[in-house]
């Protein structure tokens, strides 16, 4: 592999990570009820029964 292909793969991975981060940030900014309706995993913890707000802290 050439160094250019390695750099290209690294750039693609960074872009994918950035897209995932932006998506998660957008969904976390939605109201908690809507997060729960769409099944966002951080919106409700079924083990403890706590709803989680932004950043994962219990509400």
Which of left, alpha, beta for 28 (phi over 0: left; psi -120 to 50: alpha)?
A: alpha
Tokens of 39: 């099944």
Q: How confident is the model at residue 59 (pLDDT cuts 50, 70, 90)?
A: very low
Residue 37, domain extent: 3-56
Q: Mind listing the pLDDT tens digit for each residue in 6-45?
A: 999 999 999 999 999 999 899 989 998 898 888 887 655 5
Number of structural domains found in the chain: 1
Q: Which pTM was predicted?
A: 0.59
């Amino acid at each position: 592999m050439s160094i250019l292909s390695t750099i290209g793969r690294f750039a693609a991975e960074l872009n994918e990570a950035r897209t995932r981060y932006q998506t998660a940030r957008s969904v976390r900014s939605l109201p908690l009820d809507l997060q729960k309706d769409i099944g966002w995993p951080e919106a409700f913890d079924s083990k403890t029964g706590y709803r989680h707000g932004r950043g994962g802290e219990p509400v």
